[in-house]
Structure 1
């Protein structure tokens, strides 16, 4: 039971004979640029062959779905300390239950939510989106990242994206399946990717099952992927299979023939927000290493000023795509450097507009 006391767990006796009937499986989330595991999703598992959706539906009928989700959250958070280095754990919760006392108590059991991604898993309409935003903001203040599942699945999902401003956006599986042979799906993925970039979120393709799908997402610069092709859920945090590593590297190598920004990233000073400012250019970062502002120097006047982080990209993002997105920013920030970050949101460096625009890619 991952070291949890039975007395500390929500009571699900109308559904489960014992709290240990709910176990967890962990599915890897892969950083395509580096062919490494960026994180894992914690998935609930139950006795027998019946899928978890049936169990949660039965819990809803019995009026204890919040208790069942809270039990899964308790167990997932107890596993965070066993995570491999430089990875995160995605924990699922229904957004309409986020304000329930039993759910709040489950998250309160771990005050520091750094390395935890809270994934909102339903897209039924939420009555009070302002309350949802407040609830997710509280989790962010404790170090959590917020993810929204099934992006592109309908209007209610788009409403949640706009209200919550997640740091991770998971594509709806209907867009992932056979994306390689469908230009309409590709266009929708690119559109959602553009939106995710505008709100400084990462895009994750969930349900990747075919090499051709993986190749398509690598070509489009989607930074993260998850699915049976890359790794099946397991009761422990397993590393990537060597064959999967070779497959991902081969696909991303082909995609890089069109050039990614990875080769253009310039090192940059980082300064914790509120401390003595560094010499520009520099990135001001928050308590968890997330970029909050740029410290720049006006080349004409020599005046030092701060600017918002108006665009963040992954190292696998294409040069042309990054330049296009940079030049569509508001005029006041159009030529500001672009921040390059890893999947956890940590700063890797800066991209200068002149490097992106140079035909010779000079400077490196």
Structure 2
């Protein structure tokens, strides 16, 4: 028994605008639901419209309600959709299809009489390929009935989604009793969200909630880049809307324009230029890769003769095609592995990797460059270990490059010093012309210079009052917080030692000339003096009046400008005390 109108027990002859004999007068279309992290569809919502004389979906369902044939319309929509899904290529059927189902249909006994499962079986479609979207704008009269119905549907293999969340008055009740795998935010919450702070706070809370109950949150109705950018910042990972792709008779993929904007938005969000932001490119390893045409027998032999090999990436040219893994004695292949760019920050990747489906949770992550070319992979063991290290650094405030305490500890030291009855000194240390050095010698050499600076400052603490602390604010900024007064001779010795040790990081010709060449903002080649260290020294005894935390950074900024001028003139590292009384 198929889900045609003839299968409806005791039903009157359906209207001609709905069925033409055994053929439903329904046209199905597909709209992708996309993972904003990868740009790949995670599913397709199935949308229906009628044929002449009733075409628009809202008119179609409104007419069905007036004539009392809502269930017959639902059968027609299902029949048309399932037939079309059966004809799709295998690639398009690797992700689930989302069907809108209202409570009045779900609670109808005819939905559970076996005809739905029989329709799917007839066309070779598994219930596991179908997600039932419960529309939140209409309600169940009995919440216990909803719980039983959703359990029954899940038992058959269907997924459950709550649609239009936030549009109706009973959303939380429906949410609690349906326990959906997917929660779809109503487009009213998405529309112009970049202009409404209240919406942003609400969505951010829903992101945290969905994560805690292991549901996938999907933003519906995205139409502008501003909306997408804000949703990404709030933690939304999955989206649907005209901005992504319009509904089509064949499951569409997002346009290249969308993919380009998506990548730019991710870079703006995750890929800041500060070296505090460690990216996946730093831990990626080039693994064994083979051509996509490699036969299964060859792969099996390869894994058998290489005991330590647990995965291989198949490439189509220089782009990842599939991930092949060995689990015990079996090989499995995933043609949709998690693929990210090498500039993604590690914490963001950890969140993306842990948000995958259970069956792919422990798969390696495939890494490409910005052009999509394969670079290597990162295993979950690598990722979790490095993410844990970074979390520890964040908790303690330690800078990952120099291992020195960061802003949190520096602020604590300054607060403690302000509460003390004796005076204190704060030294702001800043490298001059590090940007130009990085452009000339590269960031790895720049990192070496930062580590050298940290070592020189750390090993010079014995020259300063006992109990002095050293921290790394970020970039080329360091701070020393010292109890009591600092001897100028100690600072002179510190500057001389830096100028001596920095020589190892310059070429002989640069040392002889006293400058290196770089390109200025206008593209001209210029001569840049060697990097120096400037120390702005704020002694509470010399400042006079009451010292406030907010005033320290302002005074330091003004003083650093002066000491940098002095260092530029002398071409040696320099220090300067703030001697103005604070107003």
For the criterion TM > 0.5, the same-fold answer is: yes
Aligned to 2:412: none
1:100 to 101, 104, 108: 108
What RMSD, in angstroms, separates the aligned Cα atoms of the two structures? 3.6
Aligned to 2:61: 56
Counterpart-to-counterpart distance in 2, 1:355 and 1:95: 48
Cα pair 1:67 1:102 within 8 Å, conserved:
no
**SS state at 2:170 partner:** helix
Counterpart-to-counterpart distance in 2, 1:252 and 1:67: 45
Counterpart-to-counterpart distance in 2, 1:20 and 1:78: 11
Aligned to 2:361: 348
Aligned to 2:18: 16
- More deviation in 183-192 or 249-258? 249-258
Cα pair 1:119 1:148 within 8 Å, conserved:
yes
Deviation at 1:99, TM superposition (A): 2.8
Matched, 1:254 2:268: yes
Aligned to 2:98: 90
Which has the bigger relative contact order, CA under 8 A and spacing at least 6?
1
**SS state at 2:230 partner:** helix
Deviation at 1:158, TM superposition (A): 1.3
Aligned to 2:197: 183
1:151 to 161, 165, 171: 165
Counterpart-to-counterpart distance in 1, 2:207 and 2:253: 27
Counterpart-to-counterpart distance in 2, 1:171 and 1:264: 36
Q: Flag the structure with higher helix content.
A: 2
Aligned to 1:222: 236
Query: What's the CA shift string for 1:79-107, capped at 9, x where partnerless?
Result: 44426153221011002321313323453
Counterpart-to-counterpart distance in 1, 2:26 and 2:151: 29
Cα pair 1:90 1:119 within 8 Å, conserved:
yes
Counterpart-to-counterpart distance in 2, 1:135 and 1:261: 46
**SS state at 1:149 partner:** strand
Aligned to 1:295: none
1:239 to 235, 253, 271: 253
- More deviation in 10-19 or 159-168? 10-19
Q: Pick the structure with greater CA Rg.
A: 2
What stretches of structure 1 of length at least 5 have no aligned partner?
267-314, 324-337
Deviation at 1:73, TM superposition (A): 2.0
Counterpart-to-counterpart distance in 2, 1:123 and 1:178: 21
1:65 to 59, 66, 70: 70
Deviation at 1:348, TM superposition (A): 2.2
Counterpart-to-counterpart distance in 2, 1:247 and 1:229: 10
Cα pair 2:28 2:249 within 8 Å, conserved:
yes
Cα pair 2:3 2:116 within 8 Å, conserved:
no
Distance change in 2, residues 1:163/1:265 (3 Å) = farther
Aligned to 1:76: 81
What stretches of structure 2 of length at least 5 have no aligned partner?
285-339, 363-379, 394-398, 402-583
Counterpart-to-counterpart distance in 2, 1:39 and 1:108: 20
Structure 1: 4+ residue segments shifted above 4 A: 3-11, 258-266, 315-320, 350-353
Cα pair 1:30 1:37 within 8 Å, conserved:
yes
Q: What TM-score, normalized by structure 1, do the two folds share?
A: 0.71
Matched, 1:41 2:45: yes
Matched, 1:137 2:142: no
Aligned to 1:174: 188
**SS state at 1:114 partner:** helix
Cα pair 1:114 1:144 within 8 Å, conserved:
yes
Distance change in 2, residues 1:147/1:78 (3 Å) = same
Aligned to 2:35: 31
Distance change in 2, residues 1:65/1:319 (3 Å) = same
Cα pair 1:4 1:78 within 8 Å, conserved:
no
**SS state at 2:271 partner:** helix
Q: What TM-score, normalized by structure 2, do the two folds share?
A: 0.46
Deviation at 1:225, TM superposition (A): 0.5
Cα pair 1:4 1:75 within 8 Å, conserved:
no
Distance change in 2, residues 1:79/1:355 (3 Å) = farther
Matched, 1:358 2:366: no
**SS state at 2:164 partner:** strand
- More deviation in 248-257 or 220-229? 248-257
Distance change in 2, residues 1:238/1:354 (3 Å) = closer
